[in-house]
Each structure stands twice: as C-alpha cells, then as structure tokens.
Structure 1
Amino acid sequence: MQEIRELVEEQRKFYNFGGTKSLDFRLKALTCLQKAIKRNERLIQEALRKDLKKSNCESYMAEIGMVYSELSYVRKHLPFWDRDKTVLSSPAQFPARSFVRTEPYGLVLILSPWNYPFMLSMEPLIGAIAAGNCCIVKPSAYASHTSSVICRLISEIFPQKYAAVVEGGRDENTELLNQRFDYIFFTGSVAVGKIVMEKASEHLTPVSLELGGKSPCIIEESADLNLAAKRVVFGKFLNSGQTCVAPDYCLVQESVIDKFLEHLIHWTKKMYGNIFENSDYPRIINEKHFERLLGLLNHGEVFFGGNYSRDTLKIEPTILYPVNESEPVMQEEIFGPLIPVLTYKTISDADAFISKREKPLALYLFTKNPKVEQEIMNLSFGGGCINDTIIHLATSRMGFGGVGSSGMGSYHGKKSYETFTHSKSIVKSSSRIDIPLRYPPYGKRKEKLIRMMLR
C-alpha cells in the first residue's frame, strides 16, 4: 500500500503550495469536470447497466442528471459563497471591522457506496473542489465498472496530486483510513460509519457520515390513497429499493388499509409488470445482498410479489402484510424491493411507534390534515416529504443529511461548500483609536462601564 501513502503525501504537498485556493482555479476545475462527464456520459450509463442493470433513463434521472444540476448550481453561486461575510462588531470591539472568511480543510477523503455509485462519488467531490481542497475518491468495489469509469474520468482531467481515485476493496479502504486526512466524507452503512469515525478520531479528523436506517412512510386516512400508493411505489422500488432514503416500511391507518393495499398493488403492476421480462428493472448488487434479502423475505408473510431469480439477481417488488414489529424485516434497513406494511389506530400511535426507534434518515407523511402534519413534522429525522417520497434530496437549494444513527453533517449546494470549508472569524481593530477600558488597572468605574456594554 506504499502507493496510497505516497499519493497522500503528494496531495498534501500540492495543497500546501496553495494553487487550489484561488476562485479561478476552482471554477475552471468544476468546468473541466462537467465537460468530462459529458464526454463520458455513454460510458457512465454502460457501467451503471453492467453494475446494477439500470436503464439509461434511470441512470440519467437519478445519477448523471443530478450531478449536472449540482455542478451548474455550484458554479453559478460559488463566487458569492466565497466572499468575506461582514458581521456587526460588538461595542466591546469598537472601533473594528468583523468578518468571516472561509478556507478549505486541505486533504479530503470521499468514501462512496455502490447503490448510486456515480452520483454519490461526484456530488461530494463537487463540494470538495468548490471549497479548494485536494481530494481522493474511493468508489465501492461492488460497482466495479462504474468505479473504473470514475477513475478514467478523473485521471484524464486532473493530476493525481490534486484529485485522484483509488480503486479496490477492503484493504484499500483500511489503508486509506490509516492515513491522516483533514476531512472524511463517508456514505454507507451504520456499521462501517462507526469504523470510519473511530479511525478519524485518531487524528481528530472531522467527518460527514451519510448513513441510513428504517425510514417510515405514514399513510393517514385523509390522504389521497391512490396518489400516495403511486408515489410510495416509485420511491420504494426505484433502483430495486437500493436507495438510502427509500420508504423502509409503511404505517397505514387501520381505517384505510384495504384500499391502500389495492392501490399499492395496482401501481406496482402498472410500473413494473413482469420484472423478469423487464430489462429496465435493476438487479440486486451481488449474491451476498441477494441472499440477505431472501432471508428477510422468507421470514415475512407475502401479500403480493415474492418471486425472484438467482440467475439474474432480481427480486420482484414485494409487499409484506401483515407484519409484526418484532419480525426480522423490521430489525434492519431493508435496502431492497420489500415493503412491510403495518397498521396503526391513531396518529399518536404512529408518532409513538416512530419515536421509540432510532432517528431515521427520511420520513414521509401522506395526509390532508394540517394538525396531523404539524404533529408528525415535530418528530426527529434527517429530511423528508409531505405527500411524496424521496424527492427532497433532488435539489441543490436544500441540504441533505441524517441525524443520530442515520448520520451527521449535510451536503448539496451551499451546504456542500460549507461542509468542506472552515469558517474563520476575524476582527480587524483600528490602530488609530485605542480605548483604555479593557486594560488594567481596573476599578469600580471601569466595571460599571463594562457591565453596561456586556449584557
């Protein structure tokens, strides 16, 4: 692993040279990245199809197009974010000018996952570059074809002393985490997130952890049940359920359970049909995860679906009902095309059910009742939607991140810039006037004046 150690040292030397900090350099780098993605768009789509069997449409909608949107937004706003922010000086600092200036952390490590392997590598990289850092990206080995394309793309536009891709598996991850970085951005499981945080603590390295959890979807009796089912099916079965913010389970009010299930089946059939003849339906990433999902499936009561193919690693969109909260499918994040459906009597029951569990990355509520909306939005969760699913992350105008066991930190748009920068608070005092109030010797008169100013 000598190459990794040398790469880290090379990047640190380049960063210390200072060339990455100029606004012009960063804007040019973002432009180069955008052009390179455009040149390699077909290869990216081919890689995503090889890794996950994603259709070109889904690859563009959920990965490539999202990256373009983020690049355009960041390039447009970066000159404004990069300016010093003047703040009002306190009377105790008079006469002085106070301002906040941002600076990059330095050397950034991005550890990205396999489920959206292109987008979740590129979007943090955009923020790191915009802030003026040097960066090493480590894509997931599970999405090897996309990892290879990302490596090719980055190496053709940037010298490795500025931005580089390290491919490989667990050994490479371990060696990277043994190095000293100035910031680590990780997207993945809670278990690995704990390891990343532990390793980062050895160097007091700050981290962003984009994790997951069991994101609930509440269906309240006043909701448009047909529309709710349609949007749940879209959010849940996109990428065969391999989405960190997918609805992990549905909590449906008892009074509407039968109607909701009818609509859920209708939209599942309409959107996906026979998935074994549907070339656009993604597969499970590998046999390990496929077998894990079958274990959850075999312990549940299948209400609809449940078929699968080991040859193609495809699992049919599956509704599990009824489900007890003690069953295996309710003990871990599913990350696949299985949706458990549970019922509740009152909205307070749903509130209590969610409150006693770990804080989720996302929460979805379908209702037309403002009081219900107000009660549920007071729960703690990373982000979410009212009367929709997953679309809250599809914008550069709001941050995205978890809370508690679902993660820490936020990114997208300005939040990405802020994530990868340190804000320095600076006071520039006048040299012409020097008020003697703060200097010893002190007395009652000075204390009285200080008390008037500092209250």
Structure 2
Amino acid sequence: MHTATNRTSEARQSEEIRRIFNLQQQHQHIVARSTAGERIAKLKRLHAAMMRYRDEINKAVWEDLRKSPTESSISELGVVNGEIRHTIRHLRGWMRPKRVGTPLALFGTASRIHYEPKGVCLVLSPWNFPFNLSLSPVVSAVAAGNCVILKPSEHAPHSAALMRKIIGECFPPEEVAMFEGDAEVAQELLKLPFNHVFFTGSPEVGKIVMREAAQHLASVTLELGGKNPTIVDETADLDEAAAKIAWLKGMNGGQSCIAVDYVLVQEQVHDRLVGKIAQHLGKFYGADSEARMASPDLCRMIHERHFQRVQALLHDAQERGAQVAFGGFSDADTRYIEPTVLTRVPEEARIWGEETFGPVMLVRPYRDLKEALDFINARPRPLAMYIWSAHRDRIARVLAETRNGDVTVNDCGAHFYNPELPFGGINYSGIGKTHGKFGFLEFCNARGVLRQNRIYALTTPFLPPYRKHGGLVKTLLEGVVKWF
C-alpha cells in the first residue's frame, strides 16, 4: 500500500512538473518581451522578501547546516541581495543592443548585438549555500527575461521549504516555479527540453547533467569544484595569510567550492605558517577540542554519508603516515569534524585525489616555485587558487603558468564577492561564468543583427551566373580578400 501511494504521489508530481513546464513554454514569449523596468520590479520584490524573511533564512540555514546567523547573513542573504542590487543598477545597460564595428567591405551596413533570453531554464542547486547558490542564478535568469524552474537540494529541507514560500510570494508559476525532491525529481526535470540548464555541484553529477542536456542540445552552465591550491612564499605576510586561510577553511565547515584545499608553502617558512594557522584556528573557534565543538561558528557536515566520506579520507591519510598538526577530533552523533591541518601527507593518499569538501586542510612544503607549479599542473584545473607573495614577478609567473577558474592574490575568497568579476571554473571545475553581467550573459543568446542600407549591397555583384560579370567579379573578390 505504501509503495502504491508513493507511485501515485510520484506520478502526480511528474504531471505537475510537465504542466508547469508547458505553462512556462507558452508564457516565455511574453516574459521575453518584458522591459527593463518590469524585470527590475520583479527583482525588487525578491529583495524585499529576502529582507522580510531574513531571520527565518538564518534560522533555516542553522537547522540545515548549523551555520551561524552572522556567517549566514554574509554568505547567503548578503550575497543574494548584493547580486540583486548590482543587477538592478546595471540591467538597462546590459539589455541595450551593443553597436559593433563593421569591416570596410561591408560599407553601408550597421551591426549590433542583441541580448535575448534563452527561454525556459532549469536551475539545479546544491545544499552547501542553499539560498545563495539557488537564488543568485535565478536573479540572473529573471534579469535576462527567462522563465525558470528551480530544483534545490533535498539535503537542506528547511531552506528549501522557506525558499518555496519566498518564490511563491514573488513570482507566478508561469515565470518562476520550484520543485522539491531527490535525484529522481532532477532526473524527471532533465527529461524536458529546457533551453538552458544551470547546475551547481560535483563534477561527477555535472557530467550526468551535461549528458542529459545534450539530448535536447540545451546549453549548460556547470559550476563545479576542484582541489583548490594556495601558494605561500617566504615574502608573504605569514600572519595575514594564516588568518585568511584558517577563516576560509572554517567557513561552512569547509563545505565550499572555493575553500582552500591544500597549501603549498616555501619550505623555510613551512613550520611557521603551520603554527600560525593552528594559532588562528584556536583563536577563531576555541582553545581546545571541547571548546571548538561547542563553538556556534562551526558548521556540521550536511549528512551522515558526507561525514563518513570526509572521515574516511582523513583516516586513510593518517594510516599512510600523515601527521595531524591541528585538530583531528570528530563526533559521529552530531556529524562534527574539527578543523584539521595535515602535514607530511603522502601523494598516494586518497585525499590528494579528490576535493575534500570538509574542514581538513593539507600543507606541503616546496623548494622552488617550479616544484609548486608542477604539482598544481599535474592535477585537474581547480575552481579557485590563492597566491600569497610580495614578489610581483612570482605572482605574474604563477598566473601565467597555471590554469584555473579564478584567483585571489594576497587574500582568500574575496574574488567571489566582486560582482564585476566572472565566477566559474574551467574543464573539470566547470563550464561557463556567473555573477553580475556574466551571469546575465550566461542566460542570454547574443544575437547578431546586420542591417543593409538601400543604396548599396556588397552581395549584389556576386549573384550568379558569375560569368556574366566578366572580370568584375575577379576584381571585387581581390578587394574583398584584401579588406575583409
């Protein structure tokens, strides 16, 4: 009976998904013609709702992740509202057709780029920053004039329930709708011919999303992750570097796609940096393991499976000879893992082969910069990289000889908060860019439009049969080849 009930419920949800999708397809042509003012009004409604429910947002994120209200205000509410405000300020300019140059051979024509919505878009969002990574792409999609279906992670149910309420108050379902559920709901959605799919999550699931989107030749944005390196040389401000590394690794319990995963430090300052990282972790979260476990500023692992995964990586590294320079304590009942610093981690340890996505950091010394760069380049291209140095030439060399999504120099994570910068990975760490104008463009089709005047058209002399023009065609072709 229970199984039959479940099947009935799933069938009803499947029908509702298709009904809403069809409704959005029919309505999309109206939304596509919306003015900048109409789109801005929608974004203002969302901004007002986020402010109205800010206490409930902090509470929901606490219940899902045990994230402190201060951290939630910065990384959830602050990011989304900042994205909305930036978009409102610049949307009219982004929407305006852009005039571009025309080659001499096309004299008499005018060329422009029109930024048009892609259509009906699907946003599949993760659990680690439930409001931020769900609503920021929705902001970009709405600004670009699209209809959107959002499917947030089932692992942050309190956040998802509140998000559904907010979206329901701000948008009619024919413009923005949301469906909750597990991977089966995502699979059901991916069967539909969306015009664009925006996914945030792991590379493994990203490959599945891309494969399913390819069935309909839908464009994709994949915001993935990677094993993010940090380089610290002997000229760096070690105390500042240690503080920022410790802060970014502690944020969200290390469950962040831009977290520091490992640190490559010049060997003569290795011990000093490790000591300072430990010092700052103790200052931030508590002087001993008991105090740190009681800290209201440390998140828990999202669920039991993820807790066991991070624990397995940590134990494997220790069994292979890694040394715990700080932390190491965990509590299975509360899914708590203490901020942990590992040194002397053998390269064959599993933790070198995958993104940790937890509060475990590796520190490895290097002799010269070439060794550090070779180590980074031997691995898949990461989402973020951090460089700590007072040496301009070294910074320039690292930027020139590595490839990754984005970089912050002499700070950690700051690039994420600048809406003027593109955010996104490359290859293994993602496809496409988001934030600000780059997010708007990700949900647009850049449509080239050339207007020919009535006096002269370049193509007229080339109409067949070509032999009737004699040598004229040859002469014109030589000019075209020369001046195009």
TM category, shorter: over 0.9
Give, in angstroms, the shift of residue 24 of structure 1: 2.5
Match of 1:427 in 2: 450
Match of 1:444 in 2: 471
Which 10-residue stretch deviates more, 18-27 or 255-264?
18-27
Give the whole-Å Cα distance in 2 for the aligned partners of 1:278 and 1:352.
39
8 A Cα contact 1:224 1:367, kept in partner? yes
Give the whole-Å Cα distance in 2 for the aligned partners of 1:109 and 1:119.
16
Give, in angstroms, the shift of residue 210 of structure 1: 0.3
Report the AA paired with residue 188 of structure 1.
G
8 A Cα contact 1:19 1:25, kept in partner? no
Which 10-residue stretch deviates more, 411-420 or 290-299?
290-299
Matched, 1:327 2:349: yes
Q: Deviation per CA, 1:52-76: give whole Å up to 9, x if none.
A: 1111110011111111111111001
Give, in angstroms, the shift of residue 331 of structure 1: 1.2
Match of 1:390 in 2: 413
Give the whole-Å Cα distance in 1 for the aligned partners of 2:311 and 2:89.
46
8 A Cα contact 1:21 1:104, kept in partner? no
Which 10-residue stretch deviates more, 15-24 or 193-202?
15-24
Give the whole-Å Cα distance in 2 for the aligned partners of 1:433 and 1:223.
63
8 A Cα contact 2:31 2:145, kept in partner? no
Give, in angstroms, the shift of residue 411 of structure 1: 0.6
Give the whole-Å Cα distance in 2 for the aligned partners of 1:90 and 1:434.
13
8 A Cα contact 1:217 1:250, kept in partner? yes
Match of 2:337 in 1: 315
8 A Cα contact 2:389 2:395, kept in partner? yes
Match of 1:402 in 2: 425
Give, in angstroms, the shift of residue 372 of structure 1: 1.3
8 A Cα contact 2:31 2:147, kept in partner? no
Closer/same/farther in 2, CA of residues 205 and 434 from structure 1, 3 Å limit: closer
Match of 1:139 in 2: 152
Return the match for 1:414 from 428, 437, 449: 437
Q: Deviation per CA, 1:365-413: give whole Å up to 9, x if none.
A: 1111122111111210000111111111111111100001000100100
Give, in angstroms, the shift of residue 4 of structure 1: 0.8
Give, in angstroms, the shift of residue 417 of structure 1: 0.9
Give the whole-Å Cα distance in 2 for the aligned partners of 1:396 and 1:434.
43
Report the AA paired with residue 424 of structure 1.
R
Match of 2:200 in 1: 187
Give the whole-Å Cα distance in 1 for the aligned partners of 2:33 and 2:184.
30
Return the match for 2:362 from 332, 340, 346: 340
Give the whole-Å Cα distance in 2 for the aligned partners of 1:147 and 1:417.
24
Q: What secondary structure, in the 3-state scheme, does the structure 1 residue paired with 2:156 have?
A: helix
Match of 2:11 in 1: none
Report the AA paired with residue 338 of structure 1.
V
8 A Cα contact 1:324 1:342, kept in partner? no
Matched, 1:291 2:315: no
Give, in angstroms, the shift of residue 360 of structure 1: 0.7
Give, in angstroms, the shift of residue 443 of structure 1: 3.6
Closer/same/farther in 2, CA of residues 116 and 434 from structure 1, 3 Å limit: closer
Return the match for 1:101 from 110, 114, 118: 114
Match of 1:44 in 2: 57
Give, in angstroms, the shift of residue 453 of structure 1: 3.5
Give the whole-Å Cα distance in 2 for the aligned partners of 1:239 and 1:88.
47
8 A Cα contact 1:20 1:134, kept in partner? no
Q: Deviation per CA, 1:58-109: give whole Å up to 9, x if none.
A: 0011111111111111001000111111112222322121111111000000
Counting matched residue pairs gives: 455
Give, in angstroms, the shift of residue 20 of structure 1: 5.5
8 A Cα contact 1:320 1:339, kept in partner? yes
Match of 2:40 in 1: 27
Cα RMSD of the aligned pairs, angstroms, is 1.3
8 A Cα contact 2:32 2:116, kept in partner? no
Structure 2 length normalisation: TM-score? 0.92
8 A Cα contact 2:258 2:384, kept in partner? yes
Aligned-residue sequence identity (percent) comes to 37
Match of 2:298 in 1: 281
Which 10-residue stretch deviates more, 204-213 or 302-311?
302-311
Give the whole-Å Cα distance in 2 for the aligned partners of 1:233 and 1:151.
34
Q: What secondary structure, in the 3-state scheme, does the structure 2 residue paired with 1:126 have?
A: helix
8 A Cα contact 2:67 2:299, kept in partner? yes
Closer/same/farther in 2, CA of residues 19 and 186 from structure 1, 3 Å limit: closer
Matched, 1:454 2:467: no
Closer/same/farther in 2, CA of residues 18 and 266 from structure 1, 3 Å limit: closer
Residue pairs, 1:32-431, within 5 angstroms: 32-273=45-286, 274-299=291-316, 300=318, 301=322, 302-378=324-400, 379-431=402-454
Report the AA paired with residue 196 of structure 2.
Y
Which 10-residue stretch deviates more, 352-361 or 425-434?
425-434
Report the AA paired with residue 131 of structure 1.
A
Which 10-residue stretch deviates more, 249-258 or 428-437?
428-437
Closer/same/farther in 2, CA of residues 19 and 97 from structure 1, 3 Å limit: closer
8 A Cα contact 1:182 1:205, kept in partner? yes
Closer/same/farther in 2, CA of residues 324 and 443 from structure 1, 3 Å limit: farther
Q: Deviation per CA, 1:249-280: give whole Å up to 9, x if none.
A: 11111111111111111111011112212122
Q: What secondary structure, in the 3-state scheme, does the structure 1 residue paired with 2:341 have?
A: strand
8 A Cα contact 1:20 1:133, kept in partner? no
Structure 1 length normalisation: TM-score? 0.97
8 A Cα contact 1:94 1:429, kept in partner? no
Give the whole-Å Cα distance in 2 for the aligned partners of 1:443 and 1:145.
77
Report the AA paired with residue 430 of structure 2.
G
Report the AA paired with residue 181 of structure 2.
G
Give the whole-Å Cα distance in 2 for the aligned partners of 1:314 and 1:281.
9
Q: What secondary structure, in the 3-state scheme, does the structure 1 residue paired with 2:155 have?
A: helix
Closer/same/farther in 2, CA of residues 167 and 20 from structure 1, 3 Å limit: farther
Give, in angstroms, the shift of residue 18 of structure 1: 4.6
Q: Deviation per CA, 1:196-250: give whole Å up to 9, x if none.
A: 0000000000000000010111111211111111111011111110010101111
Which 10-residue stretch deviates more, 252-261 or 43-52?
252-261
